[in-house]
Amino acid sequence: MKTIEECRLEIEKLDSKIVDLLVRRVFTTNEMAEAKKKQGLPIYDQMREDLLRRRIRQLAGTEYEDVISRIYETIITESKKQQMQRFFE
């Protein structure tokens, strides 16, 4: 069993990776908004969101499915806000 300090160190390393990936995701979200604007497409795509939700639940596995889904709901919401902001700049 790991000590509290070992767990904290591992969490810090994971947080660095998570933040890096989230920054890259936001950057890509901005690119997506610009592509949608250029092509005259709407920001919101219900089918795409439903597909993403199903994929995330599968990736998370049954043990962590609920908590990961809740986290992703926040990511989806913030991604749409970011795209809207970029779309109307």
Q: In the predicted model, is pLDDT for residue 10 greater than 90?
A: yes
Averaged pLDDT for residues 39-47? 93
The structural domains of the chain, ordered by start, are 4-87 (1.20.59.10)
What is residue 88's predicted lDDT score, i.e. its pLDDT? Answer: 83
| pTM beyond cutoff 0.75 | yes
Distances (CA, A) of 64 to 24, 55, 59, 68, 71: 24, 13, 9, 6, 11
Q: In the predicted model, is pLDDT for residue 54 greater than 90?
A: yes
Averaged pLDDT for residues 28-42? 93
What is residue 46's predicted lDDT score, i.e. its pLDDT? Answer: 94
What is residue 89's predicted lDDT score, i.e. its pLDDT? Answer: 79
**Which DSSP helix (H) or strand (E) runs through 44?**
none
The span from the CA of 44 to the CA of 73, in Å, is 14
